[in-house]
Every structure is written in structure tokens, then in C-alpha cells.
Amino acid sequence: MQLENYIRDIQGFPKEGILFKDITPLLNDAQATQECLKTLAASLKGQKINKVVGAESRGFLFGILLAQELNAGFIPVRKHGKLPYDTVSVSYDLEYGTDTLEIHKDAIQKGDKVLIHDDVLATGGTAKAVCDLVEKLGGEIVQFNFLMELTFLNGREKLNGYNIFAAVTY
């Protein structure tokens, strides 16, 4: 199954000049969703992971499924002001502005083996911000998983030294 066939391009979203990769057709097809999950999980074979961190908000979709598959806890990383408990935060640049992400300060214990999942690796700003949060709390990043990678934006450069997997590359 070609997962690319279930990802559509939306020109000019969320603002002019951006080509947005829309995964809702993939989510709308049970077989494509299952195939995507199998592909993402296969990249983790033999890895010891006890926490999966999903980045707001599309990273939650497969992040929680991966956590279930791995029998691991799931941790949401959210935008500023969205988590109810004490948080640790980091500001970062993304391909069309700046933002702040937060994680509960008790979500990760020193030495936790962490998978970071998000829908797309673009410029690497969001992924690096999540990485900084996880490491600030003492987590050890085992791998970054992405549904897709936009290679022409060179996001991997911000994640040098980490294992990275993307189910689809553009």
C-alpha cells in the first residue's frame, strides 16, 4: 500500500506560500491507518521504549496508537496554556512563525526511554523543541518517528545524532 496516496496537498494552508500535507484521507481509511501504524511500529522492532511523546496535535493521533502497540505510556506535548498541571516550556521557530510547547513536569522520569512522534518533520523546529523538553526532564530519546518527512526543508539537520524514521518522504 502506498501511504502517499492517502495524503493530499492543500495549497496556501495555513497561510500563503505553504503546501500543507493533509493526512485526513489516511485517517479516514481504516486499512491505510493500520498500514501506517504497522510501518511506524516496525521501525521500533527490538527497541526498549517506555514512554511515547506526541507533539500537538497531529502527533497525538499515531502517538497514542504507538504507545498502545509498545505497551508504553503516552505523554502529550501541547501549546502554551493547554496543560492543566505544572509544566516545563520551550519556545521554538517553525516554518511559518514561532510558538511555545509545554510538557507536564512529572511526565518523564530520569532514564525513561522515549519515542518522540509527530506527523511531519519539516524544518525540525517542533521536533527539536520536544527533544529539549524531554531531555530537560531526564528522558533518553530512543527515536524520532514521523508519518512523513519533507526532506527539502532539511529538518534532520536540527536532530543530528538521533535515530529518525519517516514512513513517507517527500
> Which residues have a catalytic role annotated?
58, 95
153: buried, middle or exposed (CB in 10 Å: 19+, 13-18, 0-12)? Answer: middle
Dihedral over alpha carbons 30, 31, 36, 42 (to 10 degrees): 120
Please, how many CA atoms are within 13 Å of residue 102, restricted to the half-sphere of its CB?
12
Reply yes or no: is the peptide bond before residue 89 cis, omega within 30 of 0.
no
Task: Output phi, psi for 40, to 5 deg.
Answer: -65, -45
For residue 24, how many other CB atoms are within 10 A of its CB?
12
106-132 burial, b at 16+ Cβ within 10 Å, e below that, comes to ebbeeebbbbbbbbbbbbbbbbbbbbb
